[in-house]
Amino acid sequence: MIIFDPSWYIKVKKSQVQFKAPLKDYCTYAIGGPAKELAVALTKEELREYLIDAKRLNKKYIVIGKGSNCLFDDRGFNGLVIVNRIQDIEWKESSVVVGGGYSFSLLGIQASRKGYTGLEFASGIPGSIGGSVYMNAGSGDLETKDVLEEVEFLHEDGRIEIYKRDALQFSYRMSIFQKMKGVILSATFRLKLSLDAKEKQEKLLAYRMETQPYKERSCGCVFRNPEGDSAGRLIDSLGLKGLTQGGAKISETHGNFIVNHNQASAEDILDLIRYVQIKAKHHAGIVLEPEVKYIPFDE
């Protein structure tokens, strides 16, 4: 763990803060009322200033990337939403350094097309680099931690720290960042050459598009898999696929996806989540834990 003095940052003119920006435009669910304030950060310098200002002025704030694991309240968010759009990327001989706002799926596709293996599983995962590290996103037997080297993290007081992978306490859909306040600025991933990386990536993406509602509005998987089982298999066994509530529907393609089928509200999604949890507990004795993060109006 290395701590950097942030004084080398040059003060920049920040992009304009938006007021009453509709949060449905900043998440994959396309659900959510207006944010009291919203700022899109394109650089590390901008992001640092937004974070420091929020702390100094005692503002409620959240930081999001692609909004793929978020469910915003129908009333919006009564505070500042900072959108991490830092999309720098630097390819090195045996690693790649990527900004926190970069698409994890795009990184997986690009790496495999350059002949590098290890990130094939990322293609099709809808989150940003920051979100994928934060959640230790994965598919099948592979997770973000398996190819991660280090993370550049910005604390809300302006300090920047470099965390090596072994210090990040990774487990299934968990990392140390879920206990910290701040934002992931960038991540460094290991690269290893492979002749069949592109073929593997294309097969994985084709399978994902066939077995998941890839073209519908969703947050990805709604529930964490219970130990030794699959949430999708469990929901399927309960006969809940296709169930609707308002504009929300449990996908008929994959039971662990709740899709915005027809102008769904956040309450529609939450009602289906609660119903599935009740059914799983009553019929299978299993407590399903949501993977999606519901963000209330007054968090």
CA–centroid distance for 50 within its chain: 20
Question: Is 291 among the residues known to form the active site?
Answer: yes
Question: Is 156 among the residues known to form the active site?
Answer: no
CA–CA separation, 277 and 258 (whole Å): 13
Catalytic residue among 173, 190, 217, 289: 173
Nearest to 261 by CA among 239, 242, 276, 236: 242
Count Cβ atoms below 10 Å from residue 62 Cβ, excluding itself: 18
Catalytic residue among 37, 46, 49, 291: 291
| Residue 205 burial class via C-beta count within 10 angstroms: exposed 0-12, middle 13-18, buried 19 and up | buried
3-state SS of the chain is: CEEECHHHCCCCCCCCCEEEEEHHHHCCCCCCCEEEEEEEECCHHHHHHHHHHHHHCCCCEEEECCCCCEEECCCCEEEEEEEECCCCEEECCCEEEEECCCEHHHHHHHHHHCCEECCHHHCCCCCEHHHHHHHCCEECCEEHHHCEEEEEEEECCCCEEEEEHHHCCCECCECHHHHCCEEEEEEEEECEECCCHHHHHHHHHHHHHHHCCCCCCCCCCCECCCCCCCHHHHHHHCCCCCCEECCEEECCCCCCCEEECCCCCHHHHHHHHHHHHHHHHHHHCCCCCECCEEECCCC
Q: Point out the residues that are catalytic.
A: 173, 221, 291
